Amino acid sequence: MADSCLSLLHDSEANQLGSLFQRHYDAAFADYFSRDPAKWPVFSEPGLNRIHQFRQQKLAPNERIAAYPDGLALQQLLAGHASIAQQRLVPNGMPDDMLTFAAALSKDWENPSSVENVVTMPCDPAIYGSMMGAMANPNLAYSEYAGMADQLEKYVIRQIANQVGYDPEQSTGIFTQGGTFCNLYGYLLGLRKSLPTALQHGMGRVPDFRIINSQGGHYSNMTNLSLLGVDIKDKTIRIKVTDSHDMDYEDLERQLRACFAVNCRVPTIMITMGTTDTFAVDRIKPVYELRNRLCEEYEVEVAPHIHVDAAVGWSMIFFLDYDFARNPLDINPVTLAGIERTISRVKELKYADSFTVDFHKWGYVPYTSSLVMIKNKQDMKALENEPENFSYFEHDLQGQTHLQSTIECSRGAVGVFGAYAALKYMGIEGYQTILAHCLQNANYFRHQLLKQGNVKLMAPENQGPSVGFRIYNPQWVDDVVAEFAKEQQCMTHPEYMELLRRNSQWHRNAFKGRGKVGLYTNWVEFISRSAYNTAGKYSYIPGEKAVFMNPATGRSQIDLFMRHYC
My answer on whether 415 and 498 are in the same domain is: no
Tally of domains in the chain: 3
In a domain, 210, yes or no: yes
Pair 225, 308 in one domain: yes
Burial class (CB in 10 A: 0-12, 13-18, 19+), 357: buried
Measured between its terminal Cα atoms, the distance across the chain in Å is 32
Contact, 174 vs 370, CB < 8 A? Answer: no
Q: Which range (126-140, 248-262, 378-392) has the least confidence?
A: 378-392
Task: Note the pLDDT tens digit of each residue in 305-320.
Answer: 999 999 999 999 999 9
- Domain identity same for 183 and 298: yes
Same-domain check for residues 401 and 531: no
Contact at 8 Å (CB) between 527 and 536? no
Residue 1 lies in a domain: no
pLDDT tier for residue 386 given thresholds of 50, 70 and 90: confident
Looking at the domain assignment, is residue 366 inside a domain? yes
Distance CA 288, CA 373 (A): 17
Mean pLDDT across the stretch 261-286?
97
Q: What angle do CA 534, 537, 542 make, to 5 degrees?
A: 130
Q: For residues 111 and 147, state if they share a domain.
A: no
Cα–Cα dist 312/357, whole Å: 8
Region 180-203: mean pLDDT is: 95
Residue (of 226, 224, 230, 223) closest to 209 by Cα position: 230
Report strand pairing: 305-309 vs 354-358. parallel
**In this structure, which long-range contacts are made by residues 32-41, counting pairs with CB atoms below 8 Å and at least 24 apart in sequence?**
32/123, 32/124, 32/125, 32/364, 32/425, 32/426, 32/430, 32/434, 33/121, 33/123, 33/124, 33/364, 33/551, 33/552, 34/124, 35/124, 36/124, 39/124, 40/124, 40/125, 40/127, 40/128
Say what percent of the chain tops pLDDT 70: 98
Round to whole Å and give the CA distance between 125 and 141.
25
Is the domain of 148 the same as that of 48?
no
Residue 6 is predicted with a pLDDT of 82
Grade residue 400 by pLDDT with cuts at 50, 70 and 90. Answer: low
Q: Do both 508 and 396 map to the same domain? A: no
Please give, one letter per residue, the 3-state secondary structure of 172-216.
EEEEECCHHHHHHHHHHHHHHHHCCCHHHHCHHHCCCECEEEECC
Does residue 24 belong to any structural domain of this protein? no
Residue 392: count of CB within 10 angstroms of its CB: 5
**Could you tell me if residue 73 is inside a domain?**
yes
pLDDT band at residue 396 using 50, 70 and 90 as cut-offs? low
Residue 398 forms part of a structural domain: yes
Instruction: Residue 160: give the domain boundaries.
Output: 132-431
The answer on 164 and 237 residing in a single domain is yes
- What integer pLDDT is reported at residue 205 of this predicted model? 86
Residue 112 lies in a domain: yes
State pTM to two decimals.
0.96
Pair 164, 297 in one domain: yes
- pLDDT tens-digit series, residues 521-553: 999 999 999 999 999 999 999 999 999 999 999
- Asked if 391 and 321 sit in the same domain, the reply is yes
